[in-house]
Amino acid sequence: MRLLLHICCAVCIAAPIKKLKENGVETTGYFYNPNIHPFIEFRRRIKALKVLMESEPFETVFCEDYGLREYLEKVDFKGADRCAGCYDLRLNATAKYAKENGFEAFSTTMLFSLHQNHEQIKSIGFDSEKEFGIKFEYLDYRHLAKDCQEAAKKKMLYKQSYCGCVFSEYERYKDTTKHLRKQDIEAFHKRNTNVNAGGDA
């Protein structure tokens, strides 16, 4: 089977790529993630995937145009379920590319993650199958999550700490200052002290 596999990050594919090869699946990766922000994060994830491919070679199509505008135009980020729009955006693009380029099926590494809405991704995948007329290959490699983490550590791959969009980044870090530089925190407290002193006068 010729499979076009949407890849969200290097970590999620680090272990499953071996299983796919062992099962005789001719896999081509498809990096299409206009949800990933900011720009430096987008570049880090592309680089991590390319680093993985040096030790685990497999063909991959990279969509390297920064997709901030596309993401914001397509996803209802004001609503209660922006993730569904994000899944739909990426799966539809994967299905379309697969259909236009002679693949037999498509799937996504988002199904391999322990942190995504698995059933929602699965449902949207089958909706894309109907819309574009190409098979959605349901793959569940969540049992390899630990292996993925170990492989990423061994290969020294960049491991992201949030899903990808600016909103998930905010939700990840809004209640902590541990990722701020010490001098930034000190400057922040100094400014607040000066403001308060002025106000009291």
Residue 77: per-residue pLDDT: 77
The pLDDT of residue 196: 46
Instruction: Report the chain's C-alpha Rg in angstroms.
Output: 20
CA distance 103 to 10: 22
Q: Looking at residue 174, what is its pLDDT?
A: 85
Tens digit of each residue's pLDDT (9 = 90 or more) over 78-133 = 777 889 999 999 999 999 999 999 999 999 999 999 999 999 999 999 999 999 99
Token pair listed for 96: 């379309």
- What average pLDDT does range 47-61 have in this prediction? 96
Q: Assign 176 a pLDDT band (cuts: 50, 70, 90).
A: confident
Angle of helix 118-132 relative to helix 82-100, nearest 10 degrees, comes to 40
Amino acid at site 68: L
List C-alpha distances in Å: 19 to 69, 76, 134.
36, 36, 23
Side by side, the strands of the sheet bearing 135-136 are 60-62, 26-31, 2-6, 105-108, 135-136
Model confidence, pTM: 0.85
pLDDT tens column, 152-175: 999 999 999 889 988 889 888 888
Asked if residues 33 and 64 have their Cβ atoms less than 8 Å apart, the reply is no
* Domains located in the chain, CATH noted: 2-164 (3.40.50.620)
Distance between the two ends of the chain, CA-based, in angstroms? 75
* DSSP sequence for 13-63: HTTHHHHHHHTT-EEEEEE--TT--SHHHHHHHHHHHHHHHHHS---EEE-
